Amino acid sequence: MQMGDETRQRVKFTDDRVCKSHLLDCCPHDILAGTRMDLGECTKIHDLALRADYEIASKERDLFFELDAMDHLESFIAECDRRTELAKKRLAETQEEISAEVSAKAEKVHELNEEIGKLLAKAEQLGAEGNVDESQKILMEVEKVRAKKKEAEEEYRNSMPASSFQQQKLRVCEVCSAYLGLHDNDRRLADHFGGKLHLGFIQIREKLDQLRKTVAEKQEKRNQDRLRRREEREREERLTRRSGSRTRDRRRSRSRDRRRRRSRSTSRERRKSSRSRSRDRHRRHRSRSRSHSRGHRRASRDRSAKYKFCRERAAREESWECGRSERGSTDWRLESSNGKAASRKSEEKEAGEI
């Protein structure tokens, strides 16, 4: 399908509407145009400018358009092979059956006819290109093949009745599915094997083989790249896990160190607090001991003072009794009051001392 100027400006070669086989110069619609099997116009876009853009872009990156073109040619060749098999079955039904030996001899004649046609077509092509010497060499080979063909035809004629030999034996071309006669002359064979139809099918089949090889190589390369990327990714993951484990180990060691330092400081503080508590207990014990000893000494002093006071009092009372018996009642009162006052003063004095 051809494009207008406006459409050409909008469509890129990567568009699905563009024929990928045309970009690779192997579309059957272009190759078989003007032949007996002209397929007409392609349903997709054909444009030489898009092919030029593709050729430039394919040098920078791989677009994998070969896969689309290969699928297109495979479907086309599969249809041609199907038609070839149908033609063979039709010939088998219409022509007389012959024995396997006669059939093999006829097949040999057909093969020699095909070889002669190919050589003549090649010789004509070389002559058109100006390579006369090579063309002459090929024509000499054609003469040798013609001699072989004559011998094969004699064997084939002698192996069957004359009535059957006069019938035209046809054969289907394996390349382009065209009919070939057993008794076709060299001109007819050269026209067929050097014709655009036969050469176009040869070009399509060779291009298909080339595309299959290219696609297989690219798929192998892609698989290797994918495998390499996977290995690199796994290697990076292993390194990441190792670094992560090292980081976790460092963190664990740091946390262990912190716990150890914390436990050491805690134990140190506990020891300090226990020592301080023991010192406090010791101080409290010593304070209680001192207070107890001071209280004991104070009590002993109180007891000794009380004992001394009692003795003095007993002595005074004893002296007072003796004096009362000696002195009179007046003197006894005076002494008694003086004794009481003196005893009160001594008691106050002792109390103040205590």
Residue type, 136: Q
Average pLDDT over residues 29-44: 89
Nearest to 49 by CA among 69, 22, 72: 22
| Rounded-to-integer distance, Cα 29 and Cα 43, Å | 10
Average pLDDT over residues 91-108: 68
Q: What is the pLDDT of residues 1-14, one digit of tens each?
A: 555 555 556 789 88
Residue type, 239: L
| Rounded-to-integer distance, Cα 242 and Cα 201, Å | 60
- 208: pLDDT confidence band, cut at 50, 70 and 90? very high
Q: What is the SS3 assignment for 42?
A: coil
| Rounded-to-integer distance, Cα 153 and Cα 352, Å | 170
Mean pLDDT is lowest, of 96-110, 176-190, 255-269, for: 96-110
- 122: pLDDT confidence band, cut at 50, 70 and 90? confident
| Rounded-to-integer distance, Cα 30 and Cα 1, Å | 11
The CA–CA distances, whole Å, from 345 to 233, 267, 301, 333 equal 112, 65, 19, 18
pTM over 0.75: no
Phi, psi of 261 (to 5 degrees): -65, -40
What's the chain's average pLDDT?
76
Give first-to-last CA distance, the chain, whole Å. Answer: 138
Average pLDDT over residues 243-268: 72
Q: What is the pLDDT of residues 51-61, one digit of tens each?
A: 999 999 988 88
